[in-house]
Chains A and B, each alone.
Chain A
């Protein structure tokens, strides 16, 4: 009886492990291929571990194209993703506090608008926003990639934070008010420190979304020195500009490294964000 139970347990782990390996295989294959000599990648594609690890692909890929190295593209991506994330997290916290803790004229309408902003997909807005930003003279700059996010337009984050603020006892606010605290200092001294976990969750998702954002870079950035990694990678992989698959896989692996690092270190917050509010990773 005991051994049968044990056998079942082993079988379970074998099944889960092998299915997991199938899932992860493509990524692992890309990562391993980036260490193979470029001209052998497809000849030895069935063999996962390279015979000898070479780093020339990374050196070659890092040089980039049109005399612009990937260092520039990474710097651009970090700049865009970090500023947009700071903007969106801070503005969403402000709005969430206002909607969660203050009663005022138009609050219900704003709630409805927030739901609309959650449901209205970026792809529907792609052309409308392009036409508008063109009128504003923003095309070609980072403004369309950063500024809109500083106005709490991603309803998901506001929603996430409202839920979190609702979980903080109102008595805290009341006590602070009696002590002469204004709404503004309640926000900065009480609410902000207490919603740190929600701020971290929102920052993670925002960073990863902005890092991956390919569509808006494609639309608005037309000068190669200002490309973010996603767009640079696409052009790097286009036929004609490079057939060096080793270098391509090396840069592709590097481009997903930030997300993988975040995933490994901050998994707890990611899982929480998805399970509690259905944020898509």
Chain B
């Protein structure tokens, strides 16, 4: 009896339909437990006045109404975050593409160069680099010193001015162009050489080759990079949190940092939860818009 039960169980477990579920079980549990449930809970809290310490009080859409009608900082952070993402991501992609084109020319040292250019983006998100950046742009920092060597003597406070502070973060973001560069490199290598040869026979120069062949064939890669990095750009946290803390005058206050401040520094946790939901909505809208523009500029035919 026991034996047949054991055999039956083994047979049941080894059916394709059961095995699939068993193997997927970690993800099923994880997805529900660490994504669906928290999002559900936070949606409820976003409708409450809640400060972690005392029990939540249901207030309906109050948090959302307050956000859109009575919170200037909210609009300010959205402006800052958009500015950061829309300036740093395109610049980073252009830079990545230029370096990729430069490194496409193969020589013995290519692997070595590639490593050189890629290293900053491996460690760029770390606390160590953020600390370094903060010191570099200090009044007595390396940047001013190097400018001094070049003959421009200044003790300009890069981080203290509302116009330049955001640019220190943008430069840090551009500096981490390594992974986009690698993606560009691998798709540049997939463009058939025959296309270039044929166009050379037809009398095309390097310039028109780039705009008529390379760029159109790269648009799917550019699109992929753009979507992924835009999302990442909207979510930058560590750099802002450590380097500027949103100063001066909230001119570098990223949305994520504002969300953190509201939830854990001002203890408006319910409001923070509402901010998280609005951010998800914003990211979705931007992704949808990017996808909608796809058919106007992304090349989809096969080679």
Contact = CB atoms under 8 A, between A and B. Distances in A.
Interface of A: 9, 12-13, 15-17, 19-20, 23-24, 26-27, 29-30, 42, 45-46, 91, 94-95, 97-99, 102-107, 110, 113-114, 116-117, 119-132, 134-135, 148, 150-153, 158, 182-184, 187, 208, 212, 214-215, 219, 230-231, 233-234, 237, 245, 248-249, 252-253, 255-256, 259-260, 263-264, 267, 270-271, 274-276, 278-281
Contacts of A106: 21
Interface residues of B, number: 95
A264 B113 CA distance: 13
18 contacts: A12-B105, A30-B128, A94-B25, A98-B19, A102-B19, A104-B19, A105-B17, A125-B276, A128-B38, A131-B41, A131-B269, A152-B26, A152-B27, A158-B27, A183-B14, A248-B131, A259-B122, A274-B183
B24 A95 contact: yes
Given A24-B119, A212-B127, A214-B238, 12 more contacts: A26-B175, A94-B25, A95-B24, A102-B20, A121-B232, A121-B235, A127-B263, A131-B269, A153-B35, A182-B19, A212-B123, A255-B128
B202 interface: no
A26 B182 CA distance: 21
Task: Report which residue of B26, B109, B145, B259 has the largest number of chain A beta carbons within 10 angstroms of its beta carbon.
Answer: B26
Interface of B: 10, 13-14, 16-31, 33-35, 37-39, 41-42, 45, 52, 99, 102-103, 105, 107, 109, 113-123, 125-129, 131-136, 140-142, 145-146, 148-149, 175, 178-179, 182-183, 185-186, 224-225, 228, 231-232, 235, 237-238, 241-242, 256, 259-260, 263-264, 269, 272-273, 275-276, 279-280, 283, 287
B117 A280 contact: no
A69 B103 CA distance: 43
Contacts of B30: 91, 148, 150-153
Contacts, number: 270
B interface, over-half SS: helix
A interface, over-half SS: helix
Please give me the 6 A-B residue pairs with the lowest Cβ-Cβ distance, nearest first.
A151-B30, A98-B23, A102-B20, A104-B20, A128-B42, A275-B186
Contacts of A99: 20, 23-24
Contacts of A231: 127
Contacts of B123: 27, 212, 256, 259-260
A267 B20 CA distance: 34
A46 B183 contact: no
B128 A102 contact: no
Contact of A128 (B26, B145, B276): B276
Contacts of B128: 30, 233, 252-253, 255-256
A280 B24 contact: no
Contacts of A117: 31, 35
Contacts of A182: 10, 13-14, 19
